[in-house]
A and B are shown apart, each in its own frame.
Chain A
Amino acid sequence: MNNLLEIKNLSKTYHTKKEEIKAIDDLTLEIKQGEFVAIVGSSGCGKSTLLSILAGLEEKTKGEILFNKQDFTIGYMLQNDSLFDWLTILDNALLGLDIKGKKTKENIEYVKNLLKTYDLDNFKEKYPKELSGGMKQRVALIRTLAIHPDVLLLDEPFSALDYQTRLAVSDDVYKIIKKEKKTVIMVTHDLAEAISLADRVVVLSKRPCRIKKIYDIKLTNKSNPIENRKAKEFSTYYEKIWKDLDVFI
């Protein structure tokens, strides 16, 4: 298998007392090593469900998910930072390792280094409430990176932040992810965010969600997300994807 992970004919059906709701219908997607894939779709189309299934938080109804190795580790980053108020920043960053019983000297050193590299060294012994929103998001990312994930799943990772912080933090997170050479699947409803961050943008249809189109994002002078927004192809992609989404008010 050349791909890092393959999703084959995945379906998910929910049921309430009265009816069955098909959230995902026959979705097939391949993710390559080192790729940054953004998944966009109108709200409530089931894109977050897809990540929940990948993260093992929900059961799939049908289909297969194949990983390229046995003990495949998934790092799941949620909408808000979900830091624990009663733990120090260091302990928060070590939470995943703690749960997995992998708090080895080596791993602790790795996390401390990450904190140092990303300007959080002075905050190690502080508590989350003393940090800004952007810093907390960085801690949440380090907490996810700490378990050496083979793929990072980002579920609208910046949606809890205000617009300016959001731009700065997405830039920040992007740099960290690229530096650590991680594969990413990100779900978002923000098209600009998707185009400026991702190598590929997958557009999902309305519920039940199927893949409508996949765009390989090729921007002239591709650099960081904020600069990418200035590329001349940016608006073309934006318009195309906007049309695909077929939004009615």
Chain B
Amino acid sequence: MSLSKEAKQALKKERRFNLLVLITQISIIIIFLGLWEILTRVHVLNSFVFSSPSLIFITIKDLFLQGNLFNHILTTFIETLIAFILGIGLGLLIAILLYSFKFLAKVVDPFLTLINSLPKVALGPILIIWIGANVKSIIVMALLINLIVSVITIYNGFLNIDENKKRLLISFGATKRQILTKLIIPASLQTIVSSLKLNISMSLIGVIMGEFLVSKAGLGYLIMYGTQVFNLNLVMSGIFLLLVFSYILYKLISILEKKLIKN
């Protein structure tokens, strides 16, 4: 392939621009971490309250050496995964029910809005009393947060499907079930997948919130425990691990999205 001189130059310009963005981004991280480290070393910032990159590194290394690190990460991961799968499964099911039964959708509508507007954390204490101080409470907490959003997103996706396509199927004599399986669900794949992205962040919020309330392990537990014993190194390490963890989850869903929506 031969490109004209102008095209080559334009491409070069674009590449240089992208490189500049990347360099700036990396510089920001280095400067931020560097300043943090230096300011705590020269005691401008109190490392007991603010921790520092090197202290966070040591804390994580210790956790690893004690063999606790992966246990915490795995606990949070499994809780998030269960809440995520339940949320998507139930969300899809409820959305299909609402779509299939107009009466049900009408009846439930104000209640959905009501529950959606309630900050679900408020239900935390009740959950502990009803379900107990265990993992179940954490998962229910996460479900409370992700489910309503999933239902609303998927259901709205269903409602936005081209009316003409529905008319076409009806003119072929399609049953309600056929309309659902041949049109509604495949056509909503895009919305369902984008609801996965939303759902995974919601699940994680719920799980961390749940771990704040009741837990014996997990990244949320690490943060909460660190606060209680005033070990800010542990708190910061927990936050850092959570940052990396949620970014990886998000990326995984993005890859899944690309795989699912090929054509």
Q: Which residues of A contact B (CB under 8 A)?
A: 55-57, 74, 76, 78-80, 82, 84-86, 95-96, 98-100, 127, 129, 147
Among A95, A99, A147, the most chain B Cβ lie within 10 Å of the Cβ of A99
Among B168, B182, B186, the residue within 8 A (CB) of A82 is: B168
Given A86-B187, A86-B263, A127-B263, is A74 in contact with B171 using a C-beta cutoff of 8 Å? yes
Known: A57-B171, A129-B263. 20 other contacts (CB 8 A): A55-B171, A56-B171, A56-B173, A57-B167, A76-B168, A78-B167, A78-B168, A82-B164, A82-B165, A82-B168, A84-B183, A84-B186, A85-B263, A96-B172, A99-B173, A99-B174, A99-B178, A99-B182, A127-B263, A147-B172
Question: In whole angstroms, how far apart are the Cα atoms of A96 and B173 in the complex?
Answer: 9
Q: Chain A's interface: helix, strand, loop or mixed, by majority? A: loop
Across the interface, do A86 and B189 meet the contact criterion of CB distance under 8 Å? yes
For the complex of A and B, the 7 pairs showing the least CB-CB separation, nearest first, are A76-B171, A99-B172, A96-B172, A99-B174, A55-B171, A82-B164, A82-B168
Residues of B within 8 A of A (CB): 162, 164-165, 167-174, 178, 182-183, 186-187, 189, 263
Give the CA-CA distance A86 to B193 in the complex, in Å: 15
Q: Do B183 and A78 have beta carbons less than 8 Å apart?
A: no
B171's nearest neighbour on chain A, judged by CB, is A76
Cβ A100 vs Cβ B172 within 8 A: yes
B157 CB to nearest chain A CB (Å): 14
Interface contacts (Cβ under 8 Å), in number, total 46
B184 to chain A, nearest CB (A): 12
- Whether the pair A80, B164 counts as a contact (CB closer than 8 A) is yes
Most chain A Cβ neighbours within 10 Å, of B165, B172, B187: B172
Contacting residues, chain A, for B189 (C-beta < 8 A)? 86
Report how far A76 CA is from B165 CA in the complex, Å.
12
7 residue pairs of the A-B complex, CB under 8 angstroms, read: A82-B162, A82-B168, A84-B165, A86-B186, A95-B182, A99-B169, A129-B263
Report Cα–Cα, A79/B167, bound state, in Å.
11
Instruction: List the B residue with the shortest CB-CB distance to A88.
Output: B263
Please tell me which one of the listed residues A57, A79, A80, A86 contacts residue B170 in the complex, with CB atoms under 8 A apart. A57
Determine whether the beta carbon of B173 is less than 8 Å from that of A100. yes
Residue of A nearest to B183 (CB): A84
Q: A85-B263, A99-B178, A99-B182 are in contact. Are A78 and B172 (CB under 8 A)?
A: no
Which chain B residue shows the least CB distance to A80? B164
Chain A residues in 8 Å Cβ range of B186: 84, 86
> Which of chain B's residues have a CB closer than 8 A to the CB of A86?
186-187, 189, 263
For residue A127, which residues in chain B have a CB less than 8 angstroms away from its CB?
263
A74 CB to nearest chain B CB (Å): 7
Contact across chains for A95 and B164 when beta carbons are under 8 A apart = no
- Of A57, A84, A98, chain B has the most CB atoms within 10 Å of the CB of A84
Chain A, Cβ-Cβ closest to B167: A57
A105 to B263, CA, bound (A): 27
CB distance from B246 to the nearest CB of A (A): 31
Closest Cβ of chain A to B186, distance in Å, is 5
A residues near B182, Cβ cutoff 8 Å:
95, 98-99
B-side contacts of A95, CB under 8 Å: 168-169, 172, 182
CB distance from B11 to the nearest CB of A (A): 27
- The minimal Cβ–Cβ distance linking A154 to chain B, given in whole angstroms, is 12
